[in-house]
Amino acid sequence: MEQQDKFYKGLFFGALLGAAAGTIMGLLFAPHKGTETQQIITGKIKHALDKASDYYESTEQDVAYSNEAKKRSQEIIDTARDEAKKILTEANSIIREIRGLPKTHEN
Among residues 54, 74, 52, 72, the alpha carbon closest in space to that of 64 is found at 72
pLDDT at 17: 93
pLDDT in tens, 29-81: 877 777 787 788 888 888 888 888 877 777 666 676 777 778 888 888 888 98
pTM metric for this prediction:
0.36
> Do 25 and 4 fall into the same domain?
yes
> Do 40 and 19 fall into the same domain?
no
Q: Could you give the CA distance from residue 33 to residue 27 in angstroms, rounded to a whole number? A: 9
> Do 39 and 89 fall into the same domain?
yes
Q: Can you tell me whether residue 103 is helix, strand or coil? A: coil
Length of the chain: 107
Domains held by the chain: number? 2
> Do 44 and 10 fall into the same domain?
no
> Do 42 and 23 fall into the same domain?
no
Which domain, by its residues, includes 100? Answer: 33-107
pLDDT at 101: 66
pLDDT at 102: 63
> Do 63 and 105 fall into the same domain?
yes
Instruction: Classify residue 92 by burial, with Cβ atoms within 10 Å: 0-12, 13-18, 19+.
Output: middle
Count of H helices and E strands in the chain?
Answer: 2, 0
> Do 9 and 48 fall into the same domain?
no
